[in-house]
Amino acid sequence: MSSIIEALNVSTPHEVYHLAAQSFVGASFEQPLSTGDITALGTTRMLESIRLVSKDTAFYQASTSELYGNSPSPLKNEGSAFEPRSPYAVAKLYAYWATRVYRDGYGLFACNGILFNHESPLRGLEFVTRKISNACAKISLGLQDILSIGNLEACRDWGHAEDYVEPMWMMLQQDKPDDYVIATGETRSVQEFVDTAFAHSGLDSSKHLRQEKRLIRPLEVNSLAGDPTKARETLGWKPRRTFDELVRDMVDSDLKRWKANQRGDAFPWDAPLYPDDKNIIITRYSLDR
């Protein structure tokens, strides 16, 4: 917490976007204590630091659709019941209410962005969407033969991460702090994601797919779909990219990376992040981690 306070004192920020967390649901079952410390208490450390030394700073908390779990309403909005089904979701629920407490109790401009699944080519390989797109690229190039996967029936509301960054900023530009659901309002199953990705790669998914019980969570969330009405009416936001565009973007990006890897080319992130600053370098990503 002392380092957070020091960072606030040095930077005197107008806005803080708190995105840090142990964010992999599967890993939270294996690491529940560290997930709670990082994801739940980490948010409280941020809020308390702002309260102490930077009370005029607007604060964005990255909440999650996992808060809702298997709650009964088909479309989840800001008033839907929470029913967390993982240590990750429980930790995020703590962080959600901590943000509300600091907003109502101390007058902080603090917002919860309840973002449903947002994906991109930068998604970690431990997440199912990137695991699928990466496998499609490798299989199409003869570098892999089988994609091992867990629950194919789970349904999620998937959007493109580039679309979801804008409403984070929009929330902090409002006259009053509030909480918003950011979603597309549509659900697709993991099976549909697989079929779309493999079809785009010219592959038959049935020939390369293997379900494994070890990849299924102890508690599963069957379906999550968000209702973005409030964000549309208050923020003027709506997603621009479709599900198919998202999947194609992820598959094409992984295919480009693996082709470059085969040629021995440098990846784009091997170049300086800022052309005028030779000292800032993004390190090479390990494709086989």
pLDDT by 10-residue block (mean), the chain, 289 residues? 96 97 90 96 98 98 96 93 95 98 98 97 92 95 93 94 97 98 96 96 91 80 93 97 97 94 67 40 37
DSSP 3-state assignment of 223?
Answer: strand
Neighbouring-strand partners of residue 64: 115
Q: What is the pLDDT of residue 216?
A: 77
Pairing of strands 159-160, 155-156: unpaired
Q: What is the pLDDT of residue 280?
A: 37
Q: Cα separation of 285 and 106, whole Å?
A: 42
Q: How far is CA 94 from CA 41, 133, 134, 182, in A?
A: 8, 33, 33, 19
Q: Catalytic site residues? A: 64, 66, 88
Pairing of strands 155-156, 188-189: antiparallel
DSSP 231-254: IIIII-----S-HHHHHHHHHHHH
Task: Report the topology of domain 121-157+187-222+241-289.
Answer: UDP-galactose 4-epimerase; domain 1 (3.90.25)
Give φ, ψ of 120 to 5 degrees.
-170, 175
Q: Would you say 219 and 86 are in contact if contact means Cβ atoms under 8 Å apart?
A: yes
Core vs surface per residue 189-209: b (16+ CB within 10 A) or e: ebbbbbbbbbebbebebeebb
Q: Would you say 267 and 284 are in contact if contact means Cβ atoms under 8 Å apart?
A: yes
Give φ, ψ of 116 to 5 degrees.
-80, 175
Q: What is the pLDDT of residue 267?
A: 58
Q: Would you say 70 and 222 are in contact if contact means Cβ atoms under 8 Å apart?
A: yes
Helix boundaries (H) for the chain: 2-11, 25-30, 32-35, 42-53, 87-106, 128-140, 161-171, 190-200, 229-230, 243-263
Q: Cα separation of 172 and 147, whole Å?
A: 41
CA angle 91, 193, 168 (to 5 degrees): 45
For residue 141, give every residue at least 6 positions away whose Cβ sits within 8 Å of its Cβ, in sequence order, or none.
255, 258, 259, 262
Q: Cα separation of 262 and 24, whole Å?
A: 30
For residue 83, give every residue at least 6 positions away whose Cβ sits within 8 Å of its Cβ, in sequence order, or none.
68, 69, 70, 71
Q: What is the pLDDT of residue 268?
A: 55
Q: What is the pLDDT of residue 24?
A: 86
Q: What is the pLDDT of residue 288?
A: 38
Tally of helices (H runs) and strands (E runs) in the chain: 10, 10
Q: What is the pLDDT of residue 283?
A: 37
Burial of 17 (0-12, 13-18, 19+ CB in 10 A): middle
Amino acid at 83: E
Phi-psi region of 142 (alpha: psi -120 to 50; beta: other; left: phi over 0): left
